[in-house]
Structure formats: structure tokens, C-alpha cells
Structure 1
Amino acid sequence: MSDPTPANVDSPAPPKRKQTKRTLLIVGCSFGLLLAFFLGPMLIVPIVLDRLDFAQHKKADIDIQSLMSAVETYAVNNGGAYPESLEALVVPDANGETYLKGLRQIPLDPWGNAYVYFAPTAGSEPRIVSYGKDGKPGGEGSDADIDSALMKRD
């Protein structure tokens, strides 16, 4: 019996086709990695910075609430008289305690600026303000003021 296919016929070229697919795969992956390397930071960095701004504002909120609580406690312990400055909250009493539970100095806001205290005048409440990232009154976004008078009271 003879074989119907001639012996000198070349077999199809699968190795070349496999080589082409492999090359395309390598080029595609390389392109994807380069794209991720250059576009990734442009997409991820703004998200991280937004979360950082949010966290800093949240910390300022919590600090101001703690300071306001200490100011109110001071007033209760001093016959309704509010402190003239926040420094009164870190002066140790006879037992060595402060109104800020162990702190010996007033904390700075998350941007390294001092919290601003407005002692109450007739008909007003005490206020504590952080002027935000720029440290100046007013502003928007991360520069926005965080004011105890604007916080929701429970």
C-alpha cells in the first residue's frame, strides 16, 4: 500500500505561527506594563491624595471635638467660666491631671498649625477653628476652615 500523501510535501508551518503568537503576546504585555507604569500614577495618586485630605480633615474634626469637650468641662468645673485660652486646658491640677487627659501641650492641627480659640463673649459660644491646609481664614477643599460652630452637635 502506498501512502496517499507524497513524502516531499512540507508540513504546515505551526512553529512559525506559534512564534508570531508568542511575539504578539510579549509585545502586548510589554505595552500593557508600560501603559500601567505611566498611567497608573496619574490615576492612583489623585485618589490617594483625596483620601489623605479627607483623613486630615477628619482628624481636625476629632481634635476640635476633643478640645471643645475639654473647654466645656473646664467651664463646668469653674462655675461656668470658660478658659481665656486653650493653654488653660493643659495646666495640671492638684492631682497632676489636665483637661486633655495627659497632654502637656495643645496639639497642632494636621497641617502643623495651631488651633484658634475664640473665648465666648456675651451671647456667644466658644469656638475652635483650624484654618485648614493653608493656615489662612476661608478657603475651599483642603484649605477650607474647620469650625466648631459649624459642626453638628449631638
Structure 2
Amino acid sequence: MLHRNLEQNATASAVRRTRQARRKGRRAGFTLVEMLVVLAIIGSIVGLVGPRVLNYLSESKVKTAQIQMENLASALDLFYLDAGRYPSTEEGLSALVQRPAGVSSWSGPYLKSAGVPKDPWGHAYLYRAPGQSGPYDVGSMGPEGREGSAGALSRAAKEK
């Protein structure tokens, strides 16, 4: 009888431990509702912050293009001081890094980089001499990659 009582007590405590382990296992995870609430919060944060970050990125590309066009304009002015003229449209901006034919007093390269930089969207800068409102025009096709598009930028030289 004593042996039987010990057996029943051992069996009962094993059953209790199994039930407690099952209850702990159920409590250890997250419910579907909790997961959906967390996902909704993360989604709303991304929805609010994402457009602002993308806007800052596009604004920074426009500012970068404007600064690069100012640098190109400065290099063109240095070319003018040395050669007495601006590069022709055919010579283009590459005249700032390689001596064009027929220019004897070239003191370049006038740009720090080895070549003419591309705009922040990966397109070549536009150059026209004479320009529409000055001796030259320097421009970027903008994010759309088309001349005259809504996002296109330009810088015209002031008359000397």
C-alpha cells in the first residue's frame, strides 16, 4: 500500500509538472493580435518617416547638382582667363580636363577630378556656348534624364 501511494504521488506530481510546462509554453509566445498591433505601429512609423527621408534625399541631389554646376562655372571662368574664350559647344566641358586643339595658353586641368563629373542622377552635364542669356549655359537633365523636364536645372553665365 505504501508503495502504491508513492507511485500515485509520483504520477500525480509528474502530471502537475506536465500541465505547468504546457501553461508556461502557452505564455512564452506572442498572440496574433499582439503581433498585428506591433506591425501596425511599425507600418505607421515607416509611412510617416519614409516620405520625409526620400524628400531630403531628392533635395540633397538638387543641391549637389547646383554646387557642381557652380564648380563647373568657376572652372570655365578660369579657362576663359587663360584662353581668352570659353570652350565651344563642340569642345564641351571636356576642354576643362584635356587641352583642346588650337588653344596654346591652356593651364589646366581646371577640375580636381580626372574627368568631368556626372550629375547626381548619372547623366552628363549639358554645356552650350554661346548660351541663351550669356556666354555659356551649364545644365543638368534632372532626375527624369530629359532636357527641359520639370526637374531639369540650369545655370547661365552672366555677361562679362
Q: Using structure 1 for the length normalisation, give the TM-score.
A: 0.66
Aligned residues with identical type, % of pairs: 32
One-letter identity of the residue aligned with 1:146 = L
d(CA) in 2 for partners of 1:41, 1:122: 45
| Alpha-carbon distance change, 75 to 97 in structure 1, aligned in 2, over 3 angstroms | closer
Cα offset, 1:110, TM superposition? 0.2
Q: 1:82 aligns with which of 82, 86, 91?
A: 86
One-letter identity of the residue aligned with 2:75 = A
Cα offset, 1:36, TM superposition? 1.9
Q: 2:50 aligns with which of 35, 45, 50?
A: 45
**Number of the residue aligned with 1:98:** 109
| Alpha-carbon distance change, 138 to 123 in structure 1, aligned in 2, over 3 angstroms | closer
| Structure 1 residues without counterparts, runs of 5 or longer | 1-25
Q: 2:60 aligns with which of 46, 55, 64?
A: 55
One-letter identity of the residue aligned with 2:67 = I
**Number of the residue aligned with 1:112:** 122
| Structure 2 residues without counterparts, runs of 5 or longer | 1-30
Cα offset, 1:124, TM superposition? 3.1
- Specify the SS of the correspondent of 1:128: strand
Structure 2 residue 83 is matched with structure 1 residue 73:
no
Comparing 92-101 and 65-74, the one that deviates more? 92-101
Cα offset, 1:30, TM superposition? 6.1
Q: 2:136 aligns with which of 102, 126, 129?
A: 126
Cα offset, 1:34, TM superposition? 2.9
In the alignment of these two chains, the number of paired residues is 121
One-letter identity of the residue aligned with 1:83 = P
| Alpha-carbon distance change, 123 to 132 in structure 1, aligned in 2, over 3 angstroms | closer
